[in-house]
Amino acid sequence: MDGNNSSYMELALAEAEAAAAAGEVPVGAVLVDGDTGEVLAAAGNRVESGHDPSAHAELLVLRAAAAKRASPRLGGCDLYVTLEPCPMCAQAISFARIRRLYFGASDAKGGGVENGPRIFAQPTCHHRPEVYGGMDESRAAALLREFFSARR
């Protein structure tokens, strides 16, 4: 991993912090053109504010980048997300043909990549990105812990 990877995860963490400040579960995502390094989209969760159960940070950046590129396939793009994607997001990542997935904290309860159904390991999975978990894991996990402990 080079220095740019950590700066992209920094952007995703900033999106997660902004989401938390807005009362959303603190998950942030950044989608990057893997060849040029251009940030194509960045977002935090907007489930509550959008009254949309599918408004996960990952789906929001996939939608924005697909619209920007006028294509549902985002080959050559890398996704940085602060939490292991859920099964819904993992399937969308596969359909979008994302090149590499970098994520922060693992999600033993709701994850769909290294936990749960392990979408990319299924024989029915059309595309498997390279996966790099644990990036800035302690910071990403701390954001989630603080958010949920404040609500208990």
Q: What share of the chain is helix, strand, coil (3-state, %, to 5)?
A: 40, 20, 40
Place of tokens 């709701």: 110
The answer to whether 96 touches 130, Cβ cutoff 8 Å, is: no
The residues assigned a catalytic role are 58
Cα torsion angle, 102, 106, 109, 112, sign: positive
The residue among 107, 89, 88 whose CA lies nearest residue 145 is 107
